[in-house]
Structure 1
Amino acid sequence: MKNKLLTALFLALIFSSCSNENTSSSENNTINKAANRQATGSSANDLLSDNVFKSITIEIVYVEGFEPTQTAVDNFISFLTDRTNKPNGIVTEKRAIASPGKDVYTINDIADIEREHRKYYNTEDDIAVWAYFSDGKSDSDSEENNTVVLGSAYWNTSFVIYEETLQGFSNQPLEPKRWLLESTVINHEFGHIFGLTNLGSAMQSDHEDTEHPKHCNDEDCLMYWATESSVGIGNMANRNNVPQLDAQCIADLQANGGK
């Protein structure tokens, strides 16, 4: 087991862009790209409820050679199905792109990749999600602190998984199965997009970890800060199931339109 602290990093950031990047027109239909470039957690109700959006489109884009396992994709869809009210269902599209050619990516680099390659944005009754699986590593990795970043939620419908880094910590002796680590990081990041913890879905009880804000204080919860820590990863080596949300986090989602 590699002796590093593995983290899933959420970044509640809004990146500035020119107005002509935020809208585009096709056959007299205007796409408001800015609606998918808001703060992490701000679209929690739109994702959870059927008040406005009746379906979800998941756009899964990966760098060639770093495709997520189908098991992880299936687990992600199950996670969404269990927690969202979408009578018209959830649709996925998966495709590969060439490497952008960097060894290290800032979150602004990741956002620029999305701007270049994202095809789907919100429509009248469908909310679109961008899921990117990257080569290289995050610039937030720290040799000094012995930490690496596995994933980041950075906009209201966008997250990145650093798949090359993740592959280096899975499918080896004393390491978790790749699909299990992928599923854990994907679901954890989307938990932040769902507004957990105290990030857009109001807490129904006091369960935010004061030492690790925007994370749950239940050690067994998917949203516990150490879910991807060296301790958590070590424990995953001997398990075959993905960590689940605890009752407190589920109550927050239910109060915000979810199941």
Structure 2
Amino acid sequence: MDEKTIIDDSGNDVTIDTTLNKKNVGDSANDLLSSQEYKDLSFELFYVEGYKPTTTTLDNFETFLAERLNKAGEIKVALKPIESPGKSIYSIADIKEIEDEIRTFYNDVGKIAVFGLFIDGEYSENTENGSVLGVAYRNTSFVIFEETIQEFSGQPLAPSTSVLETTVINHEFGHLLGLVNAGTTPQSDHQDVEHGRHCTTEDCLMYWTAETGEGLLNSISGGTVPSLDEQCINDLKVNGGK
């Protein structure tokens, strides 16, 4: 059992079991979508100073959550600044180490918790043809490579920072919800097997290009954030969402 001591709201030291938040991506899809086990949902979103997501992005994300999740209780989002970890390149192992140090929200009775990190630097697995903008890497954890997003949004004719941020955070949370065929069972044949856990519909939020800067610049038309297609929505509905 992985344990961590945190300070609760009353200032007391509390030792908690963190294993429920260290499972594979998609393992908590039903827990996130439905109220069967957890009626409340809390997001703890950290950002490196200078790489704070826009207010528009956060508003868009909360709208996305309200549209897709069947939570009987509250959905809360807490935004917290941190100093730069001091790296220019991050592996997922690096991101997990940072999370394990700074995360304070974990699953509790009736409440599921999600960790997000908007980081400076770039992903260690970037290639000449693909700059990754976000990764979902645990059942309740994702990272957004915010510095890379800002670099792409600053290019001529590129979508705004808010459009890119919203697309990437919604896409990565879609993976936590089990899309596509990653904890939420497909109700039709729409998994892009060649690109892993993505949708075959090109204008769907879960199309594979939504994770790379180059792909998004080519796929986003008119500065509009992609939506989930009907096939992905149907998958979520059957697994407890809406």
Number of aligned residues = 237
- Establish whether residue 219 from structure 1 lines up as the match of residue 199 from structure 2: no
In 2, distance between residues paired with 1:166 and 1:232?
Answer: 10
Deviation at 1:87, TM superposition (A): 1.6
Q: In 2 relative to 1, CA 30–39 (structure 1 residues): closer, same or farther, beyond 3 Å?
A: same
The aligned counterpart of 1:14 is none
**Hey, what does 1:234 align to over in structure 2?**
218
**1:41–1:196: 8 Å Cα contact kept in structure 2?**
yes
- 1:69 equivalent in structure 2: 54
> 1:28 offset after TM fit, Å?
8.8
| Secondary structure, counterpart of 2:142 in structure 1 | strand
Match for residue 44 of structure 2 among 37, 41, 59: 59
Please name the residue that 2:3 is paired with: 22
* Structure 2: gaps (5+ residues): none
Q: In the TM superposition, what is the alpha-carbon distance from 1:139 to its structure 2 partner?
A: 0.5
1:255 maps to 238
TM alignment of 1:140-151, pairs within 5 A: 140-143=125-128, 146-151=129-134
For structure 1, which runs of at least 5 residues remain unmatched after alignment?
1-18
Higher RCO by CA contacts (8 Å cutoff, separation 6 or greater): 1
Distance 2:209 2:132 in 1: 13
- Equivalent residue for 2:98? 113
C-alpha distance after superposition, 1:90-113 (max 9, x if no partner): 111111101111111110000000
TM-score (norm 1): 0.87
Q: Quick check: 1:24–1:32 contact (8 Å CA) kept in 2?
A: no
Deviations 1:35-67 (A, max 9, x none): 001000000000000001111101110001110
Question: Could you tell me whether the CA contact under 8 Å between 1:53 and 1:126 is conserved in 2?
Answer: yes
- Report the 3-state secondary structure (helix = DSSP H, G, I; strand = E; otherwise coil) of the residue aligned with 1:168: helix
Q: Distance in 2 between matches of 1:226 and 1:162?
A: 15
Cα 1:208/1:63, change in 2 over 3 Å: same
Q: Once structures 1 and 2 are overlaid, which stretch shifts more, 27-36 or 246-255?
A: 27-36
Shift of 1:161: 0.3
Q: Which residue in the other structure is 1:12 paired with?
A: none
Structure 2 length-normalised TM? 0.93
- Hey, what does 2:78 align to over in structure 1? 93
What is the distance in 2 between the residues matched to 1:181 and 1:41?
23
